[in-house]
Amino acid sequence: MTLSSTKPRPLIAGNWKMNGLAAALDEARAVVADLEIQPAAARVAIFPPATLLSRLSEAVGGSAVLTGAQDCHGKPNGAHTGDISAGMIADAGGSLVICGHSERRTDHGESSEQVARKAEAAIAAGLEPIVCVGETLETREAGDAVAFVVAQVRESLPPSVAGKAFCVAYEPLWAIGTGRTASVDNIIEMHAAIRAELAAIFGEQGKAVPILYGGSVKPENAGEILAAAEVGGALVGGASLKAVDFLAIIRAV
């Protein structure tokens, strides 16, 4: 069995995290304006805070820029104060959702089993989940990074993603917001291991599922990272907040 994937269009995803008031919509408008002049080779998506999703979806509506949310609940509705459901995200114009970002796993104690329920809810609502995995520095230094991440992939993906659009994002925790990027060798090794696991679980589909890299992706390093084997896009935090930087990463594909 060959594991070399038929490459789908890469996805450049901007995760604004807990940043952005109404004025930030202008950054998204600037991205749209630039992509109208010169269409991107990549698919492009922005994940604003939930408070802006509806307005952002309207602001970029009809353009090539997709929108999504940073998290969803595993249930379709109910008594879950402060949470939002996958159906609400779709209703607000989103078409994707990030599930199991390390900041959710760390700040809110989300387990891979919970993440799998979130991804399942996303699929049920017709959204494309981006399921995040990644090891801590401690795990990497103990030499356990690959085994840890592969187990996260297995446990965080519900069977219902089979045959549906979804992505996996590899984000080593020690590279997030630190300015420290995984080396291209680290990225190639981990993406190959994730690819093998996806192929083992999902067969042909698993060979083509986009595997994004995230962790201090910037205009200066995007070209090298995006050209690495089995890198199907980037999940960008800080550098997605300014249109000029985000566009430079989009153009690096």
Q: Hey, which residues are catalytic here? A: 101, 171
Report the C-alpha gap between 99 and 68 in whole angstroms. Answer: 11
Q: Where in 170-189 is the site for ligand 13P (CB under 6 A)?
A: 171, 176-177
Q: Can you read off the two tokens belonging to residue 103? A: 């900041």
Residue closer to ligand 13P, measured from CB, 102 or 112 = 102
Q: Interface with ligand 13P includes 214 (CB under 6 A)?
A: yes
Size of the site for ligand 13P (CB under 6 A): 14
Interface with ligand 13P includes 149 (CB under 6 A)? Answer: no
- Residue closer to ligand 13P (CB basis): 12 or 123: 12
The conformational region for residue 106 under phi > 0 = left, psi -120 to 50 = alpha, else beta, is alpha
Paired with 14 in beta bridges are 46, 236
- Using the minimum distance from each CB to ligand 13P, give the nearer residue, 139 or 216: 216
Are the beta carbons of 100 and 112 closer than 8 angstroms? yes
Which contacts qualify for 111-115: CB closer than 8 Å, 24 or more apart?
Answer: 112/151, 112/152, 112/155, 112/156, 113/155, 114/74, 115/155, 115/156
Give CA separation, 198 vs 8, 64, 69, 209, in Å: 15, 28, 24, 8
Closer CB to ligand 13P, 68 or 206, in the complex = 68
Stretch that binds ligand 13P, among 83-91, 105-113, 210-218, 244-252 (CB under 6 A): 210-218
Q: Would you give the DSSP letter of residue 10?
A: P
**Distance (Å, rounded) from C-alpha 246 to C-alpha 141?**
31
| One of 15, 139, 152, 156 touching ligand 13P (CB under 6 A) | 15
Residue 181: CB minimum distance to ligand 13P, A = 8
Tell me how far, at minimum, the Cβ of 172 lies from ligand 13P, in Å.
10
Contact track, ligand 13P, 75-104, x by CB under 6 A: --------------------------x---
Residues 92, 53: contact at Cβ < 8 Å? yes
Binding site for ligand 13P (CB under 6 A): 15, 101, 171, 176-177, 214-217, 235-239
